[in-house]
Amino acid sequence: MTVCSGSLEHVELALLEGSELSSAVQAHLTSCSSCAAQAETLKGIVAALQASPAPAAPADLAARLVPLVLAEAQTGRRQNVFVRTFRPVASFAAAFSVVLASLVAAGGALVVSAALTAGNRTPAPETKAPATQAPVTTEAPATQAPATEAPATEAPATAAPATEAPVSTPTPDLPRRTPEPVSPDPSEGESTAPTEGTSP
Residues near another protein (CB under 8 A): 12-13, 15-16, 37-38, 40-42, 44-46, 48-58, 61-62, 65-66, 68-70, 72-73, 76-77
- Closest approach, Cβ 44 to another protein, in A, equals 4
CB of 52 to another protein, least distance (A): 6
Chain-centre distance for alpha carbon 123: 47
Q: Are 114 and 80 spatial neighbours (Cβ–Cβ below 8 Å)?
A: no
Give the up-direction half-sphere exposure of residue 90: CA atoms within 13 A in the CB hemisphere.
6
List helix spans (H) across the chain.
Answer: 2-17, 23-31, 33-51, 61-121, 129-144, 151-168, 179-182, 184-198
The smaller minimum CB distance to another protein, of residues 40 and 190, is found at 40
Instruction: Count other C-beta atoms under 10 Å from residue 134's C-beta.
Output: 18
Q: Output 53 or 194, the one with its CB closest to another protein.
A: 53
Q: How far is the CB of 43 from another protein (least distance, A)?
A: 9
Nearer Cβ to another protein (48/89): 48
Nearer to another protein among residue 48 and residue 152 (C-beta): 48
Residues 6+ apart with CB under 8 A from 22: 10
**Whole-angstrom Cα distance, residue 36 to residue 30?**
7
Q: Which is nearer to another protein, 77 or 121 (CB)?
A: 77
**Shortest distance (Å) from residue 23 CB to another protein:** 22
The nearest distance, CB 18 to another protein, in angstroms, is: 9
Alpha-carbon span 155 to 162, nearest angstrom = 11
Q: At closest approach, how far in Å is the CB of 45 from another protein? A: 5
Residue number with CB closer to another protein (74 or 153): 74
The 3-state secondary structure of 57-88, one letter per residue: CCCCHHHHHHHHHHHHHHHHHHHHHHHHHHHH
